[in-house]
Amino acid sequence: MLSTIQHNNQSFEVDLSKPIDISIPLTNTDENPIAWYIEKPVIEPVVFGDWIGKVSEGKSSTNFNNIFFNPHGHGTHTECLGHITREFYSINQSLKQFFFLAELVSVQPELHGEDLVIAKSQLEKVLNGKTPEAIVIRTLPNLEAKKHLKYSNMNPPYLNEDAALFIRKSGIQHLLIDLPSVDKEKDDGKLLAHKAFWNVKDVNDLNADARLESTITEMIFVSNEIQDGSYLLNLQIASFENDASPSKPILYKI
């Protein structure tokens, strides 16, 4: 069923019965993707003496699990500039709106030395003058294995600083990408793309024009059958007072 949506003085139709989930679920199996040198998530029942919080064990009327995970290393997550600043900023306080006009683009990173890099010129080409509120970047080749990769020490592709700066100067507020980071895995803490996107000049003394309401979402997965183009994005997070939260970005075709 088509619904008429009013957003930023624009009117368009979307079918809310056909959500496109571009998040990767969190599991406690070896299928879970992992980055940043950590182990897989832990999901296990609470144990008090001989009582186990698991119905199938016959000693509990409910399933009652603890979950131990890292939002940055264990799957789809959305982060605010508090990820890189000395002062604490929370994604729960930074992200106050949840629907955005988004452009899905596909880009094959270019070989720069030993690195695969997304360049400014590539983004200029695929956006072709469009200035959406959010950009969703699908890297090519787009293999199903992305949903299960162990990224540590793989030197995955990343955005160069000029590409991140171009995104910011285009007025794009929200960046979503199917990589574990917008920056190089081992960059000596420079975080050039993060800083360029959020306009953070000094992590110890935040400048007044830093982009407090902008977000970066990493480790998404966009299936190949989803076409490039314009979508309505619903960016869902859990209410964590933390620099990042596991998230569930949903696209609706316009």
Concatenate the DSSP letters of all residues of 111-145 into one string.
EETTEEEE-HHHHHHHHTT---SEEEEEESS--GG
Residue 39 has a pLDDT of: 97
| 175-209 confidence digits (pLDDT tens) | 999 999 999 999 999 999 999 999 999 999 999 99
Task: To the nearest 10°, report the CA torsion of 103, 190, 220, 244.
Answer: -100
State the helix-helix crossing angle for 161-169 and 120-127, rounded to 10 degrees: 40
Contacts of 36 (CB under 8 A, 6+ apart): 70, 72, 73, 151, 152, 180
Bridge partners, 67 (sequence order):
43
Residue 99 token pair: 């629907």
Tell me the domains of the chain and their CATH numbers: 2-27+71-253 (3.50.30.50)
- The set of long-range contacts for 199-202, using a CB threshold of 8 Å and a minimum separation of 24, is 199/168, 200/81, 200/84, 200/85
User: For residues 23 and 50, what is the distance between their CA atoms, to the nearest angstrom?
Assistant: 37
| 70-113 confidence digits (pLDDT tens) | 999 999 999 999 999 999 999 999 999 999 999 999 999 999 99
| Of 148 and 8, more confident | 148
- The set of long-range contacts for 54-60, using a CB threshold of 8 Å and a minimum separation of 24, is none
pTM confidence score: 0.97
Say whether pLDDT at 117 is over 80.
yes
- Mean pLDDT taken over the chain: 96
Q: ∠ at Cα 222 (192, 143), nearest 5°?
A: 90
Residue 1 has a pLDDT of: 77
